[in-house]
Amino acid sequence: MLTDLEELVTCESYSADHAAVARSARVVAEQGGRLLDARPETLVIDGVTHLHWTFGTPRVLLLGHHDTVWPIGSLKTHPWRVEDGIARGPGVFDMKAGLVQLFHALTLLPSLDGVTVLVTGDEEVGSATSRALIEDTARQCAATFVLEASAAGGALKTSRKGVSAYDITVHGRAAHSGLEPEKGVNAATELAHQLLALQHVADTVTARTGPGTTVTPTVMSAGTATNTVPARADLSVDVRVPTPAAQAETDALLRALEPRTPGARLEITGGPNRPPLDTGSSQRLFTLAAELAVRLGMDPLEQAAVGGASDGNYTAGAGCPTLDGLGAVGDGAHADHEHVVTAALPVRARLLAELVGAVR
């Protein structure tokens, strides 16, 4: 498994570099083809390469991605290495170790009938080209197991917040900031009003639907010159919600925002991206996994609710029972200390094999 993990990690696959993602897909296809004794269907959608294996009539979907957030060249600063039972390298935890566990788990089954495997190439950037493929595949299945990395301590992820993304553009009017500022409409000032309004949106949603919603301003810009009243200001907003009701309420409130500065105009684009994955979709599968872990002599399984989203949000939203976080045990997704506990690789692979066998 470590040899296979090294092969995947040392083939960099930054999401924004479609050529690199295509190279990675070829490596994943070769590895999966060798271990499963079957070549995948390669799907290129808007330049992004995805892989799909199907064995018989699909009943169980195993879902993962091979793209990472690490720019090409990250191996120079974060080289592949294994020391004292810890494997490191760009994307090792999120989520190339999960792919290795997936393939090796399936080698433990006497038959792959009823299994379908989907490895996408754009999860880290929102799955725009793979969402329909994920949802269509999930609708055919009775269960989805997501090989994303585990939560702290190896906990499985039984709840994920939904994600919405918005861009707020303020249109004002330029003027010389020294000679006649009163003739301008300051888009930056209006943006400041909207920043304060966003907290009111979050508070209102919480009051109406319950706790857990966050509305976070992220990237912003305004103006073109230090002596000019800004005619335009832009703001990106990241929204995380615990329930579909909170997602709908937040969307309605954001679209109803009004300018406070006379003469300013707001343009609001974007909207819901991933629906929430709630415990109702995952609890039965988690109970099964916990029982199997006991039979296998593993430490008791824990479950966790997390703010980050995955493609498991899509499968749950499509009505397919979904259990997430079955991948690597470790820490540091997207961070300099990203790592995997190597001793857990075969243990988690065995658990996945038992799960597939139990629900197929």
Measured distance CA(177)–CA(230) in Å, rounded: 9
- Scan for tokens 């989907």, then name that residue: 118
CA atoms of 120 and 100, how far apart (whole Å): 15
Q: Please spell the DSSP secondary structure of 130-155, one letter per residue.
A: THHHHHHHHHT-SEEEE-PPP-GGG-
Residue with the two structure tokens 């000019």: 228
What is the tally of structural domains in the chain?
A: 2
Whether the CB-CB separation of 339 and 272 falls below 8 Å is answered with no
Last-in-domain residue among 274, 297, 327: 274
Task: List, in sequence order, every beta strand (DSSP E) within the chain.
Answer: 41-45, 48-54, 60-65, 81-83, 86-88, 115-120, 143-146, 156-160, 162-171, 214-222, 232-241, 265-274, 303-306, 322-323, 330-331, 339-341
pLDDT averaged over consecutive 10-residue blocks of the chain (360 residues)?
98 98 98 98 98 97 98 98 98 98 98 98 96 98 98 97 97 98 98 97 97 97 97 98 96 98 98 94 97 96 95 97 98 97 98 96
Which residue carries 């190439």 as its tokens?
Answer: 121
Spatial distance between the Cα atoms of 77 and 153, rounded to a whole number of angstroms: 27
The answer to whether residues 344 and 325 belong to one domain is yes
148 and 213 assigned to the same domain:
no
- The range of the structural domain enclosing residue 220 comes to 162-274
For residue 95, whether the previous peptide bond is cis, meaning omega lies within 30 degrees of 0, is: yes
109 to each of 31, 80, 98, 205, how far by Cα in Å? 17, 30, 17, 47
| Domain final position from 222, 242, 274 | 274
Q: Which two tokens stand for residue 205?
A: 């949603």
- 96 class by beta-carbon count within 10 Å (0-12 exposed, 13-18 middle, 19+ buried): buried
Do 134 and 214 sit in the same domain of this protein? no
Length of the chain: 360
Residues 33 and 91 in one domain: yes
Residues 304 and 342 in one domain: yes
Q: Are residues 8 and 104 in the same domain?
A: yes
Task: Report the CATH number at residue 207.
Answer: 3.30.70.360
Query: Which domain-ending residue is among 231, 250, 274?
Result: 274
Q: Are residues 79 and 205 in the same domain?
A: no
φ, ψ at 133 (rounded to 5°):
-65, -45
Single-letter residue type at 286: F
Read off the CATH number of the domain in which 53 is found: 3.40.630.10
Calculated CA dihedral for residues 338, 342, 344, 346, nearest 10 degrees: 130
Q: Phi-psi bin for 322: left (phi > 0), alpha (psi -120 to 50), beta?
A: beta
With contact defined as beta carbons under 8 Å apart, do 346 and 167 qualify? Answer: no
Q: Supply the DSSP symbol for 96.
A: I
- Whether residues 266 and 127 share a domain: the answer is no
Residue whose structure tokens are 């290129």 = 44
Q: Are 112 and 55 in contact (CB under 8 A)?
A: yes
- One domain, residues 148 and 16: yes
Helix, strand, coil: what percent of the chain each, to 5? 40, 25, 35
Same domain, 103 and 197: no
- The answer to whether residues 54 and 15 belong to one domain is yes
The answer on 59 and 13 residing in a single domain is yes
Q: Which residues contact 10 (CB under 8 A, 6 or more apart)?
A: 75, 80, 89
